[in-house]
Structure 1
Amino acid sequence: MPIAAPSHNDAIVDTDGAEKSVPKANRTPALSHRMKHDKSILTLALSSQYIFAGTQGGELLVYSLDTYERHRVIHAHKGSVLGLCLSQDQKLLFSSAADPIVNVWCTSTFRHLYALWSPYDIGDIFCVAYSSHHHTVYLGAQNTSIQWYDLKEKDTRPAPTVSSHPSERKNKFFDSLGPGGAQTPKPSGADTRPRDAVGGQELQIDGQDIRQFAHYGYVHCMLLGRGILPEAPSEEVLVSGGGDGRILLWRIDPTQRGAISSIYTLEDGREEGESILSLAREGSFLYSGRFDGEVNVWDLETRQLVRSLKASTGDVHTLTLGAGALYAGGKTGVVQKFNQHYETITTFKAHDGLILASAFTMYNDKPTFVTGGNDNTIVIWEVRDCTELSAIARRSNNDLMVESLSQFVSFRTVSSLPKYRADCRRGASYLRSVFQNFGAVTEMINTSEPYNPIVFAKFRGNPATAASRKKILFYGHYDVIAAENEDRKWKHDPFALTGEGGYLYGRGASDNKGPIMAAIYAVHELANEQSLGSDIIFLIEGEEESGSRGFEKAVQARKDLIGDVDWILLANSYWLDDHVPCLTYGLRGVIHATVQVESKHPDLHSGVDGSALLDEPLKDLVMLLSKLTGRHGKVQIPGFYDPILPLTDDERELYTEITKTLLRGNPDLGDPEELAQSLMRRWREASLTIHRFQTSGPENSTIIPHLAKAALSIRLVPNQEAGDVAVALTSFLQSEFDQLESKNKLTVTIDHQAEPWLGDFNNEIFQTLERAIMSVWGPTLGQIRESVPAVKAPDYFSPLSRAADDAPAPTISKDKPAPATSNTLANSSDPSLARPPSSGTYNTANSHLGQNDAVLRKPLYIREGGSIPSIRFLEKEFNAPAAHLPCGQASDSAHLDNERLRLVNLFNSKKIFKEVFRELPRT
């Protein structure tokens, strides 16, 4: 589902931070993000930092509340995780399951601290509660008992025997004797423990710390709290709900190791009570959920049932209170929301299946409702009609940035298709309005018709620094590649920004609307903090995906408006893999050409007219194109390789660092020298590609077409001039065609050309970017003591000074190495080996790398095989150096289906831009 764009019914913030009045018209929470798994989500718990989810497969999933990125998958139990509970200080997480075991986890290191079990077979453990005041764990079991363990005594009680562990006990089925005295063999792995539930202290409940038959049915749910007893508001009370339809309140006796005794029972007078499936409490009111949508409201002061609500949820599996509302979810996949007067505010479909868990939190002053279900999804809902209007109005800049990006993506700014011309103009107008709202001076710079305009915006730095202010030009583009979805390859509407699994999906999210919005919000934040020490100029064009048509002439015509420039910055590319930040210092250029051979004859029949005397256009074209490249793809155009720059020692070191990092994440990438050669071929070596053939006439096997043409491209490297190579290509093809002595006509058309670009990775802007990346992304994990062979640069990358006909082909080993493609690298590395968790902690229990191996490392300096036509032009026109910050990951699928940008990359890119815009003027 798409992220909702800001509405006039929502609480919003002016660009100057002032609060606006917020009508409470929008009562339905907005779907903010969705995380998918491969198993049902049975239970949820929210800390101030994480979403914890228990699955049917025994896993604990840990997601960031900030970026919704999956932080950990903890293999915690051998049965479904049925209950989760956090300690009051949120340092401990308790998980109960069908094992039947309660595991205790540290929420900062995710280490397994304790395993707790009953001395008896108790079936599934449906729920767990923890008294931080008494340091006592309570569990509710399938065998109708409530049991407890006082953790203060964990070191004084005798350690349990190995045979007492539930996995070691005899199984009533597998260990029973069948006919003839044979024993059923246990399934493979039945005696092993989950991978992460090892280590830590093992604890067994004492036989006297059990309340047998606490209910006359399963103990489905429990909660702990104070203020429940009017006569003793400071006393902590345990509340349980069971399959007998009763709710029991229990007194805790700390002198008896947390033993419980009944205080009173809440019953509605039915002879046969229906199960209590869920509980929630706010103040002196207790809410219980039952079968068939029944929600009961109990007054704890009078101990009476005061209301019975009917929800359209089916069986009420979960109840949650938050933001002045009660949320009920259940069997139908529907959430029903009640206000404080128990009136239905809204009912909405949340899951395609049962809703089994829900939770609420105020994260960064933002009311957030979370649901989980048996459709294997966790859904994040933004609550916008919260009674705390001021909290809504204080939404973070990150939230506002995502909303702005959502609107930006909704415009179908496809420059290559005339039918989207109006959308392009609307997208440009929207972008200009964002700049204007943040106080920039803006103007539309027109290009020649019918091309899209350039959005110009200028933010002036702090007046106090007027004499020394530097001017930084940020270049980007608002146009996108077409995203028609007739074949339904996109998971979502490509023009409705959709949050899923920590990513934002939508055309332009990564290329280039997301990075543009990150840069705008970075400048906005600096301006609000009065820390903008430079003038930031934005030039955002609308024709980049169509070869930057009209851009150069339009910029040259308005240089008076743009003014002088000291630095140029762009963000229109991707990391080398999915885990290690990069800086791009080189791009190949490109020439797109069409080669056409045409006969004076019409299309002919091969059986009637075919003969050796006939010059067939397609034959001529094939023979002609075969002359373009030789062995191993060596381009045969004379002088083609002459201008190419040699590989310097500094650049050689960059490849050494790249291969070390990539091989550390994925040793399967092979030999470091072959990997380096593969990358150099993509980045530093010019290449020629034939893309497609086209012929005249009907498509059958008997036609001799009168016209044949092919599309080809040449990728250029720095120091090759596109104009010179285009002339050389045309001349070479004509010369070779003349030698065919054909009666046909050759036409070579240069459709598009763009210059290569090479930056100085040792200059101030690159060094400022490097420091900002290291500051924002933090340390990467380097195996300091590991010896990775240094990369020796192959000889064939030395400058080729001889003419092309004398130059040797690149030397390649007999077994030609497979190229390290972008797809290979995007799907190859292990993130745990590349970077520690974003919180700065690293789980040494789950890795052979220790904390001492975490060091601040530079970003990888990379080059790219693609081209961006405007960069070299801007450098020449303004006599200013450019630098390129990749914001996205290798797997972002730019130009492909399901383009996306990771939320953490968007947020961190904003931070990097902010540091660069603040620090660069000081260099």
Structure 2
Amino acid sequence: MDHLKRLYESVKEEALNDYLKFLSFPSISSDLNHVADVKACCTWLSEWLYRKGFDVEVWETEGHPAIFATCLKAGEEKPTLLLYGHYDVQPVDPLEEWDSPPFTPTLNGETIVARGAQDNKGQCFYTVSALAALLKENGSLPINIKLLVEGEEEIGSPSLPAWLEKKKKALQADYVAVVDVGMKDAKTPAVTLGARGILTMDIHVRGTEGDLHSGSHGGLAYNPIHALIQILDAARDKKSGKILIPGFYDDIRPLTPSERSQVDLSAREEAPGGEKEFPPAERVGLRPTFEVNGISGGYTGFGFKTVIPAKASAKASCRLVPDQDPQKVGAAVKAFLEAKAPEGVTVKVDLHPGTGKAVRAHADSKIAQAFKQAYRELFDVEPAFLLEGGSIPITTKLAEASGGEPVFVGLGLADDRIHAPNERFSLDRFRNGFLSIARTLEILNGQAS
């Protein structure tokens, strides 16, 4: 590991300066006002990779572009690793809660504060920095590398599946590593063996054509906000936390005894939400959820407006676990909610594209064991195997298209404030990420420490 630490120090200044430049692009994929910014970020990174010696393609999808870069100089006898990350970021609202401009990276002690500092520009850039440094030093990499960096992860990767099918031959790999998750805690790295799937929806409730006077119609008209609350409330048992939608729990694949013995299910403190019959870590890693993400309706502006609103709406999402089909679960949720419409209102559920199935990898796979060994050498502790509660929707399709054994890795922490104001990532973890990627490539090549 000492030779890799020396390598990092030799490129540190340039790598960190380029990281800050990468963070300066407001590449918010969900906002049409930032289409040009997303494109500019893609162009900058693709040109950076080309200058570092990679063969680079920019896939002009129907949405935001994706970058596919390769370095296959190790030879056919060496294994191939496909690394995945994304350059798009979440919106910055509420802007007033940021301590510094979100796209002006700010050094706060030994921590970088910016949107994307961790998710996923920080983890993406320590990955490509490690690859570039090894390539420059040796003229090749220890193994063959394919790199996919997309611009639509934060909106469910709607445009990428068609390109994965189109580029299936080029994507072939022995292993797939999604560098977009976190550690068990600040001292304990982790290899994540699974992530939940996802489906999202809009729920619309309408009463009358227009808002009504709450004096003239109060007590007569059915308020759509009341109806929405009633409908959502019907989906969950208040006491147990169990989801009451018929078919919601169908097809769930439990952990085998062997898997259960390998996965750390102690990494969560007691919490009030979810299904009470399951411990917290299982609620996050092994159980599906139905969550309301936002509600709107009526008048919420300055002052007061005494109306019965004509409509109300909510955004909701389901996190899914292995063997659950997003389309099947979505159909069950839609049928249940629409059937709960009380007299006087209509309910319409619009299911979104960009769903993703859950993924579960094997603890004894070569790629999982390689990252575990690299983390063990770097941190001098035994790494954990975890199951991730979040979702990276494209992962299943990526594994299927490439034929590679998947695994999730990364050095994020729960208090990095991803998706929130003042997102951050420490310089120490940027360094350790660089070292872990470089060392894993060596291990997969059979090199000793």
Question: Scaled by the length of structure 1, what TM-score is found?
Answer: 0.44
Query: Does residue 182 of structure 2 align to residue 574 of structure 1?
Result: yes
Q: Which amino acid aligns with 1:744?
A: V
Q: Which amino acid aligns with 1:746?
A: V
Matches within 5 A, 1:398-797: 398-448=12-62, 451-462=63-74, 466-483=75-92, 486-487=95-96, 489-527=97-135, 528-530=137-139, 532-560=141-169, 562-612=170-220, 614-630=221-237, 631-654=239-262, 659=266, 677-696=279-298, 700=304, 702-737=306-341, 740=342, 742-752=343-353, 753-778=355-380, 780=381
Kept in 1, the 8 Å contact 2:206–2:224? The answer is yes
CA separation of 1:690/1:662 partners in 2, compared to 1, >3 Å: closer, same or farther? closer
Q: Distance in 1 between matches of 2:370 and 2:327?
A: 34
Segments of 5+ residues of structure 1 without an aligned counterpart are 1-66, 68-363, 366-393, 781-856
CA separation of 1:885/1:757 partners in 2, compared to 1, >3 Å: closer, same or farther? same
CA separation of 1:486/1:735 partners in 2, compared to 1, >3 Å: closer, same or farther? closer
Q: Distance in 1 between matches of 2:100 and 2:319?
A: 34
Residue 429 of structure 2: which of 874, 896, 905 is its match? 905
Cα RMSD for the two superposed structures: 2.8
SS at match of 2:314: strand
Kept in 2, the 8 Å contact 1:603–1:697? The answer is no
Displacement of 1:922 after TM fit? 4.8
Q: Which amino acid aligns with 1:884?
A: F
Q: Which amino acid aligns with 1:764?
A: K
CA separation of 1:578/1:662 partners in 2, compared to 1, >3 Å: closer, same or farther? farther
Displacement of 1:658 after TM fit? 5.8
CA separation of 1:890/1:709 partners in 2, compared to 1, >3 Å: closer, same or farther? closer
Displacement of 1:904 after TM fit? 1.8
Q: Which amino acid aligns with 2:118?
A: S
Q: Distance in 2 between matches of 1:625 and 1:492?
A: 38
Q: Which amino acid aligns with 1:437?
A: R
Q: Which amino acid aligns with 1:702?
A: T
Q: Distance in 2 between matches of 1:484 and 1:635?
A: 30
Matches within 5 A, 1:79-118: none
Q: Deviations over 1:9-59 (max 9, x none)?
A: xxxxxxxxxxxxxxxxxxxxxxxxxxxxxxxxxxxxxxxxxxxxxxxxxxx
Kept in 2, the 8 Å contact 1:474–1:538? The answer is yes
Q: Deviations over 1:588-615 (max 9, x none)?
A: 1222211112134432123212345x44
**What residue in structure 2 maps to residue 849 of structure 1?**
none
**Alignment: residue pair count:** 434
Displacement of 1:531 after TM fit? 5.9
Query: Does residue 415 of structure 2 align to residue 872 of structure 1?
Result: no
Q: Deviations over 1:306-338 (max 9, x none)?
A: xxxxxxxxxxxxxxxxxxxxxxxxxxxxxxxxx
CA separation of 1:491/1:604 partners in 2, compared to 1, >3 Å: closer, same or farther? closer
CA separation of 1:685/1:635 partners in 2, compared to 1, >3 Å: closer, same or farther? same
Displacement of 1:542 after TM fit? 0.8
**What residue in structure 2 maps to residue 860 of structure 1?**
384
Kept in 1, the 8 Å contact 2:61–2:163? The answer is yes
SS at match of 1:891: helix
Q: Which amino acid aligns with 2:36?
A: A
Matches within 5 A, 1:273-312: none
Kept in 1, the 8 Å contact 2:296–2:314? The answer is yes
CA separation of 1:619/1:496 partners in 2, compared to 1, >3 Å: closer, same or farther? closer
Segments of 5+ residues of structure 2 without an aligned counterpart are none
CA separation of 1:891/1:744 partners in 2, compared to 1, >3 Å: closer, same or farther? closer
CA separation of 1:577/1:395 partners in 2, compared to 1, >3 Å: closer, same or farther? closer
**What is the percentage of aligned positions where both structures have the same residue?**
27
**What residue in structure 2 maps to residue 120 of structure 1?**
none
SS at match of 2:352: strand
Higher strand proportion (structure 1 or 2): 1
Question: Scaled by the length of structure 2, what TM-score is found?
Answer: 0.88
Q: Which amino acid aligns with 1:893?
A: R
Instruction: Tell which has more relative contact order, 1 or 2 (C-alpha 8 A, sep 6+).
Output: 2
Kept in 2, the 8 Å contact 1:461–1:469? The answer is no
CA separation of 1:921/1:564 partners in 2, compared to 1, >3 Å: closer, same or farther? farther
Q: Distance in 2 between matches of 1:437 and 1:411?
A: 19
SS at match of 2:400: helix
Query: Does residue 413 of structure 2 align to residue 889 of structure 1?
Result: yes
Q: Deviations over 1:228-248 (max 9, x none)?
A: xxxxxxxxxxxxxxxxxxxxx
SS at match of 1:579: coil
Q: Distance in 2 between matches of 1:501 and 1:622?
A: 45
Kept in 1, the 8 Å contact 2:23–2:105? The answer is yes
Higher helix proportion (structure 1 or 2): 2
CA separation of 1:704/1:652 partners in 2, compared to 1, >3 Å: closer, same or farther? same
Q: Deviations over 1:873-923 (max 9, x none)?
A: 111222222111122222211112222212221111111111222332559
Displacement of 1:698 after TM fit? 7.3
| Structure number with bigger Rg | 1
